[in-house]
Amino acid sequence: MAEGFPATHFELSVNLQGTSKVSLQFSTDPLYCEFPSRSVAADVHGILMRVASLSDMLAGKIVAWRDPSRRPSKRQKDLLDIMRLVESHPELRAELPPELAVQMPN
């Protein structure tokens, strides 16, 4: 790509990595179709851009964690990401399904 962001295509995403600290991942999975309409403004390494809301990030991580086709190490990373989200934003605990809520430290 002439703009300096070569694209890598995967089954359900397109990843762009330029020369800055910012990389972009565009999901083509239908699950994420509504995320842009609920996106929020955020400073990402000094660049103001729209990103998925906390609730949407959590929902995406829960779907990934539940996916039995993912490698066990990826599912563990998803679980840790969920834990970090809930630790940083305790209000998200109410959005956890019961099988995850019991795994979260109090």
Note down pLDDT in tens along the chain; length 106 residues.
456 678 888 888 898 887 777 788 888 889 889 999 999 999 988 889 999 999 999 999 999 999 999 999 999 999 999 999 999 999 999 999 999 999 888 7
Q: How far is CA 52 from CA 20, 26, 45, 99, in A?
A: 20, 11, 16, 24
Nearest to 94 by CA among 65, 64, 55: 55
Structure confidence at residue 7 (pLDDT): 86
Amino acid in the structure at residue 61: K
Report how far residue 52's alpha carbon sits from residue 58's, in angstroms, rounded to the nearest whole number: 10
